[in-house]
Amino acid sequence: MSINTSYLQEITYTNSFFSELNPHLLAYTAYIMGYEIPDVHKPFTYCELGCGSGFSLLTYAAANPHGFFIGVDFNTQHIKEAKEAAKKSNLTNILFIEKSIADILDDIPDCDFIVMHGVYSWVHSDIKKAIRTFIDKKLKSTGLSLISYNTFPGWHIYAPLRMMMQEYALGLTENRLEDAKEGLSFLDFLKSHNTEYFQAVPSASALIEELSNQDLRYIVHEYFAEHWQPLWVREMHQEMKDAHVSFAGTLPLFLNFGEICLPEAFQQMNEHTVERTSFEAYKDLIRNTMFRHDIFGKTYREHNEEFPELPFGIVSQSKIEIHSISLPGCRVISLDDDIHNQVIYALELGFHTVNQIYTFVEGHINKDSIHDALLNLVIGEQIKPLSTPFYRIKSYESLELSQHNKAVLEQSLLKKECVIASPVSGSGMIINQDTALFILATGMHGIHNAAEWICEWMELQGYENSLHLELQVKAQYSTFMETIPFWIKMGIL
C-alpha cells in the first residue's frame, strides 16, 4: 500500500465539530503560556491538514468572516462534500485543496494557524515529516499550530483491543466497514467470556461499550489505519523541533495548571518547578492520558507586556455563579467570590476587556486580579475569548440567519443536535433539535409566522394536525422568544 492510499481513502470520516480548533482559544492559551500570538481580530490565514469534509473548518470560516480558511485532504469524496457545503453556505473565505500533505507547499500562503485533528497519529512517518516541514516553512513567526494525537500511557493498556479487532477482521471481508463491525462483535464476545485480558484490564469493558456507539467510519479511521501509532508526549515535542516550534500549551485549558489538574500529593511536580515537557510527561502518567491537543509556537515573548485587549464574554444562557473550579479528575479550587462576581457583573453589562473591566470597577481590583479572574472563568468554562464584543442591537422585525446557519439548520432538523456558527464567539455553538427548529423558523419566517410554520413542518413529519398541537407549539415558541436577545447577542439572528 502506498503512502497516499494508506489513510483509508475509500471511506469518508465522520462529520464532527472540534471546539479545540477555535483560533481564539488557541491564541489565548498560547499567550498566557508566554508566546507571541497572531492578532485574531485582524485578517488571518488558517489551514487545517486532513480536514475531512470540512465540518469544523466551515463552521470557523462562517464564524470568522475576516479570516481565510484552507482545508487540505486527499480523499476525493471529502473535498467534494466540503466544496458543496461551502457553496450552499455561500462562504467565499474558504478554499479546499485535494492533495496529499506532502504536495502542498507551493499551494498555500504563510499561515497564522496550522491545525490537525488526529491525523498525526494515523499517517506514515514520511507524511509526519512532510507535516513538520510544512509547519516549518509555512507557519508565520507569531503563528500557532495545534496537533491532536493519541498518546501513551493511556493507550498502552487499550492497544491490544485494536490488535484484537484487526487480527480477527484481517481478510474477513472486502468491506472495511463490515470488518470494523465484525471486529467490534469479536471484542464484545471476548468481554462476555471475561477472558484474562478483561480480568487484568476491567476498564476495557467500558471502552468497548463506548466504541459500540460510535460511527463505524470513526472505528475504521481510528483503529484500522495502517500506520496508527500513539506517541509519548516527549517524543512528540522532540519531533516538533524539526518544525522549529516548541510547546506552547495544551487543551483543555485547565490541563496547563498542576494546581488544578493534579492531586494534592503531586503538587511538587507542578509546571513551575520542572521542565515543561517533564511536567507534561508526569501529568500524563498520573492522569493516564490517551489523547492530547498540543499547541506549538515559534516565538516566545521576551517581555511580559500588559495583557492585550482580547475581549471575553458569557456565551451561555445560564446565569454564572462560580465559587470554585471543579472539573473531572481535578482538585476543587476555591475562588474569591468578591473579585469574580464583580468581573462577571462587568461582563454581563458588556465590558469585555481587562482595561474596560478595570475602568468599570474604578480601580478597586487591579489588572492582574482581573486577568486571573478571567482565566479562572475560562478554565471553568463559564466564559470564552470572543471574536468580537457584544454590541449588536437589533429589532425583532428584522431577524435573519446567515446563509451558512440556514443551510446547516435545514439539514439538521431531524438530528438530535447540530452546530451553528457564531460570529461573536468566533466558534460553533451546539444546540438541540428543538432550538434548531425555533431558530430556523424565526430567521426564515419572522416572529409572527414562526409558530405556524413549525406546525406545518411537524405535520409533514407525521404529527396530527390539531388544536392541541397548535397551542403546544405556540406555548413553546413563546418560551423560546425569551431567549431571542441571547441569539441576537451571539450574532445568530
Range(s) of the chain covered by CATH 3.40.50.150: 11-152+230-297
Confidence band for 13, pLDDT divided at 50, 70 and 90: low
Beta bridge partners of 321: none
Mean pLDDT of 447-468: 90
Q: What does the pLDDT read at residue 4?
A: 39
Band (177; pLDDT cuts 50, 70, 90): confident
CA distance 330 to 343: 24
Q: Which burial class, exposed, middle or buried, applies to 389 when counting CB atoms under 10 A from its CB (0-12, 13-18, 19+)?
A: middle
Q: Which pLDDT value is given to residue 390?
A: 79
**Cβ-proximal residues to 195 (8 Å cutoff; 6+ apart), any chain:** none
How many beta carbons lie within 10 A of that of residue 254, not counting itself?
A: 20
What pLDDT sits at residue 329?
A: 83
- Least confident segment among 184-198, 236-250, 432-446: 184-198
Mean pLDDT over 385-397 rounds to 84
Residue 6 has what pLDDT?
A: 45
Amino acid at 92: T
359 CB-near residues (< 8 Å, 6+ apart):
351
Instruction: Please say if the pLDDT value at position 2 is more than 50.
Output: no
Could you give the C-alpha distances from 233 to 123, 236, 249, 254, in angstroms and in order? Answer: 17, 5, 12, 17
Q: How confident is the model at residue 3 (pLDDT cuts 50, 70, 90)?
A: very low
CA angle 298/302/304 to nearest 5° reads 115
Three cell numbers written together for 80: 467534494
- Closest by Cα among 150, 102, 76 to 3: 102
pLDDT of residue 83: 97
Share above pLDDT 70 across residues of the chain, in percent, rounded to a whole number: 95
Cell numbers standing for residue 51: 480536514
pLDDT of 304 > 80? The answer is: no
- Looking at the DSSP bridge assignments, the partners of residue 95 are 70
- pLDDT over threshold 90, residue 303: no
Reply yes or no on whether the pLDDT at 162 is more than 90. Answer: no
Other CB atoms within a 10 A radius of the CB of residue 288 amount to: 14
Q: Which residue has the higher pLDDT, 275 or 289?
A: 289
From residue 148, give the alpha-carbon distance in Å to each of 1, 145, 261. 25, 10, 19
Instruction: Specify the pLDDT at position 271.
Output: 67
In this predicted structure, what is the pLDDT of residue 330?
87
Q: Determine the average pLDDT of the residues in 236-265.
A: 94
Percent of the chain residues topping a pLDDT of 90: 66
CATH (one of 3.40.718.10, 1.10.1660.10, 3.40.50.620, 3.40.50.150) for 11-152+230-297: 3.40.50.150
Residue 28 predicted with pLDDT over 70: yes
pLDDT of 147 strictly over 70 = yes
Under 8 Å between Cβ of 391 and 351? no
DSSP letter at 354 equals: H
Quote the pLDDT of residue 7. Answer: 38
- Residue range 195-207: average pLDDT? 91
d(CA 483, CA 251) in angstroms, rounded, equals 30
Q: For all residues of the chain together, what is the average pLDDT? A: 90
Contact 55, 69 (CB under 8 A): no
Kindly state the cell numbers that stand for 6. 494508506
Decide if pLDDT at 273 tops 90.
no
**pLDDT exceeds cutoff 60 at 125:** yes
pLDDT of residue 8: 55
Distance, CA of 83 to CA of 60 (rounded, Å): 15
Cα 249 to Cα 256: distance, rounded to the nearest angstrom: 6
51: pLDDT strictly greater than 80: yes
Q: Where are the alpha helices (DSSP H) in 330-483?
A: 337-348, 354-360, 367-379, 403-412, 433-460, 467-481
* pLDDT of the residue at 264: 81
308 has a pLDDT exceeding 90: no
